[in-house]
Structure 1
Amino acid sequence: MDCEKVIAAVKDMELQLLGVVHKISNGKTQEATVVLEKIARKTKCDALTLEFRNKKHMEQLQSLTEENKMLKEKLKYTETNKIKSIARKWSSSS
């Protein structure tokens, strides 16, 4: 999440909480409770979504790491074979 989104989310939360405080100060505790429960559910859903995305990204990273390792091994094998081939050509031409 970039900084602007974080700032916007914090400002939104601040406004919602100010609304809750206003409801409580006007004696509307039932409405304030409903709003707080709504905020809590949304926050939990957002957290679960982020957790899922992070898990998915970690799996992708692991997959890319394994693929990178295999490609490095393949490159090393190819380079070794090229060196051996050049060495054979040199030894046969001598």
Structure 2
Amino acid sequence: MCLSSSEPFADTPTKLVLYLKTQSHVRIPRLSRRRRMWREEKKMEMINLKLYMENQNIIRENEKLREKALLLHQENKALFSLLHQTKKISSVP
């Protein structure tokens, strides 16, 4: 082992690994920023997915209500025509 070497653990990779494991966690700003951005992107994707699913449910419910409204409109027209016919019959002497 050479003591004057600029790399103290160059000849023994296991010592380097042990040295790195014992050191405190070093924060790398760009890496932290990337991780934070990645987490925020994933969070936004989940929010987007939830909103998409909610929107799909609203669209389905809207279609059901539209069908009910159409049926009620048809029923209303039929009842109105029956009412109109009974008025004609009762007004004839």
TM class, shorter-chain normalised? 0.5 to 0.7
Provide the C-alpha distance between the structure 2 equivalents of 1:38 and 1:49, rounded to a whole number of angstroms.
16
Provide the C-alpha distance between the structure 2 equivalents of 1:73 and 1:84, rounded to a whole number of angstroms.
17
2:55 corresponds in structure 1 to 61
Q: Which runs of 5 or more structure 1 residues have no equivalent in the other structure?
A: 1-30
- Per-residue CA deviation, residues 2-42 of structure 1 (Å, 9 max, x unaligned), is xxxxxxxxxxxxxxxxxxxxxxxxxxxxx6x7111101110
Among 66, 79, 82, the alignment partner of 2:76 is 82
**Greater Rg by CA:** 2
Q: CA deviation at 1:91?
A: 1.8
Provide the C-alpha distance between the structure 2 equivalents of 1:76 and 1:48, rounded to a whole number of angstroms.
42
Name the aligned partner's letter for residue 68 of structure 1: N
Aligned residues: 63
Among 56, 63, 66, the alignment partner of 1:72 is 66
Runs in 1 of length 4+ with deviation above 4 angstroms? none
Provide the C-alpha distance between the structure 2 equivalents of 1:57 and 1:89, rounded to a whole number of angstroms.
47
The DSSP-based 3-state class of the residue aligned with 2:42 is helix
1:93 corresponds in structure 2 to 87
What CA RMSD, in Å, does the superposition of the two structures yield over aligned residues?
A: 1.4
Q: Which runs of 5 or more structure 2 residues have no equivalent in the other structure?
A: 1-25, 89-93
State the identity %.
16
Q: CA deviation at 1:92?
A: 2.5
2:43 corresponds in structure 1 to 49
Q: TM-score, normalised by structure 2?
A: 0.63
1:27 corresponds in structure 2 to none
* Higher RCO (C-alpha under 8 Å, 6+ residues apart): 1
